[in-house]
Amino acid sequence: MKKVCSIIFTLLASCFSLWAQDTTDVGIQLQLWYGKASLQSGKEYPYRDTTVQINVFRTYISAIRLSNKGKVVWHEPDSYHLIDMADSSSCYFTMHVPSDVMYDTIIWNLGIDSMANVSGAMGGALDPTRGMYWSWQSGYINLKLEGTSTMCPARQHEFQFHLGGYMPPFASVQEVHMSTRPGKVINVSADIAILLNSIDISVQQSIMIPGDDAVALSCIAAGIFSVR
């Protein structure tokens, strides 16, 4: 047994050094904004004629690919990242991209694909204890946006949008395409004001189930990202 192990070890170790030579670390830095101000919990931001505070913004970014002239040239294996405004370390991560890959576009999914939604318990970013899994009906929550606004007639002026759903016709995962250039770090901005301004929270304070509303808002959420 030991012998087999050591052979496998050397084999893997050599593959390893090969890979190591071939890849460059490319960082993804997400910056969360509310319009022109950086997003912080508890801070007041203008919303229509009143103000809002954002308490929770969490979302999954998955299946990151790089493409060149319309052709996907690389995709990150096991690509699931949970972005959380309450945890700045979640807004930066590195990918190990082959050094010779040329790309002009970065693509990712906002949310979790249907395959991962039906494959049982998973760990890491997908662990169901991360607060992004519905309990009463199986499925990941792709995006959570919660906060308060004086304009919001609900209890304690709270609004809650939990976007998810993987079954057609209410599959809410979205593709995000952004042009970029090869470099050490790709800086991506996400402007939550775009999302919030698309909703009239005096009329709609919550989305908690898969459906047309969740799909519509997910489409808008896909548009909050841009490479700077």
Partner 1 sequence: MKYLAILILSFIILAAFTSNSQLQLKRPKGWPAPVYDSRHNPLSANKILLGRALFHDPILSADSTISCVSCHLQYSAFTHIDHQLSHGIYGRTGRRNSPALMNLAWSKLLMWDGAVNHLDMQPLAPIANKDEMDMSIDSVMKRLQRSPVYKRLFYNAWGDSSITGERFLKSMAQFMLTMVSSNSKYDKVMRKEQGIAFSEQEERGLMLFRRYCNECHREPLFTTNEFANNGLPPDTTLNDYGRVTITHKAADSLHFKIPTLRNVEYSFPYMHDGRFSRLQQVIDHYTSGIMHSNTLSPALNAPIALSPENKVDLVAFLLTLSDKAFLFDSTYSFPHFVFTP
What is the C-alpha to C-alpha distance for residues 210 and 166, in angstroms, rounded to an integer? 8
Contacts of 151 (CB under 8 A, 6+ apart): 47, 48, 49, 50, 52, 157, 201, 202
The reply on whether position 5 binds partner 1 by CB under 8 A is: yes
Interacting positions 56-85 with partner 1 (CB under 8 A): 77-78
Q: Which one of residues 120, 155, 156, 203 is an interface residue with partner 1 (CB under 8 A)?
A: 120
Structure tokens at 60: 């999954």
Choose between 34 and 140: whose C-beta lies nearer to partner 1.
140
Least separation in angstroms between residue 148's CB and partner 1 is 21
Q: Residue 106, Cβ neighbours under 10 Å: how many? A: 22
Angstrom distances, CA of residue 36 to CA of 160, 172, 180, 189, 193: 23, 28, 21, 11, 9
Segment near partner 1 (CB under 8 A); pick from 4-12, 30-38, 83-91, 102-110: 4-12
In this structure, how many other beta carbons lie within 10 angstroms of the beta carbon of residue 88? 10
CA distance 118 to 105: 29
Shortest distance, CB of residue 190 to partner 1, whole angstroms?
Answer: 25
Whole-angstrom distance between the N-terminal and C-terminal Cα of the chain? 53
Under the criterion CB under 8 A, does residue 27 sit at the interface with partner 1? no
Spatial separation of the C-alpha atoms in residues 38 and 193, rounded to whole Å: 11
Residue 178 or 215: the one with the smaller Cβ distance to partner 1 is 215
Kindly tell me which residue out of 131, 177, 185, 227 binds partner 1, with binding defined by CB under 8 A. 131
Would you count residue 170 as binding partner 1 (CB under 8 A)?
yes
Which position among 87, 127, 175, 200 is part of the footprint of partner 1 (CB under 8 A)?
A: 127
CB of 8 to partner 1, least distance (A): 6
Contacting residues toward partner 1, per CB under 8 A: 1, 4-5, 8-9, 12, 15-16, 19-20, 23, 77-78, 96, 117-123, 127-131, 133, 135-139, 167, 170, 211
